[in-house]
Amino acid sequence: MDQPLFNQVVQIGIVVRDAEATARRYRDLLNLTDWHFNEVDTEKCLGFNFRNGERPIAARALIAWLSIGNVELELIEPRDEDSVYAEFLREQGPGLHHIMFVTPDYDACVERMHAQGVPVLGAGELQHTRFQLFDTQSDLGLICEIAEGEPLIPDQSGLK
């Protein structure tokens, strides 16, 4: 393989207990003010095909995000019991969850991860983006998210 699988880091995902309160704290501590919010609720068709491993789930979450240069900081507040984010919060508490990479060939990258035996922690689709979370923690020290699609259109912008 001559080319790297990834050509850009686009997101740092952090699981939190309260996305709005954490965004306000980022604003107060670091003057990061341009927050956007999206709701995930697969039962209301706000997201599709969410899975925990290979198991389909009904996912619910509040996502707060902003761009810092070319990287998005994403705060994920799980509002369900079954998602990989809810499991992470239960088992480890709030903290860094994943780094998202963009690849020039999503399907080939996913196929390579599967061929290497890397377990899928979760997956889903939100708006026009699909993603998979791979358990590369023991190999790389992080959860690797691979995504393909369009930037999110916020449901709401600005802190209350």
Other Cβ atoms within 10 Å of 78 Cβ, number? 23
Structure confidence by residue, pLDDT tens digits, 126-140: 999 999 999 999 999
Q: How far apart are CA 7 and CA 103, in angstroms?
A: 6
Does an H or E element contain 13, and which? strand 8-15
Other Cβ atoms within 10 Å of 45 Cβ, number? 7
**pTM reported for the whole predicted model:** 0.93
pLDDT reported for residue 116? 94
Q: Is 116 in contact with 43 (CB distance < 8 Å)?
A: no
Superfamily of domain 8-154: 2,3-Dihydroxybiphenyl 1,2-Dioxygenase, domain 1 (3.10.180.10)
pLDDT reported for residue 45? 94
**Under DSSP, is residue 89 helix (H, G, I), strand (E, B) or coil?**
helix
The CA-atom distances, in angstroms, between 5 and each of 2, 15, 101, 157 are 9, 26, 9, 33
Structure confidence by residue, pLDDT tens digits, 44-91: 999 999 999 999 999 999 999 999 999 999 999 999 999 999 999 999
pLDDT reported for residue 157? 87
Structure confidence by residue, pLDDT tens digits, 7-43: 789 999 999 999 999 999 999 999 999 999 999 999 9
**Statement: residue 2 has pLDDT above 70:** no
Domain-wise residue ranges, the chain: 8-154
Structure confidence by residue, pLDDT tens digits, 92-110: 999 999 999 988 899 999 9
The CA-atom distances, in angstroms, between 146 and each of 30, 70, 90, 104, 127 are 28, 16, 24, 11, 16
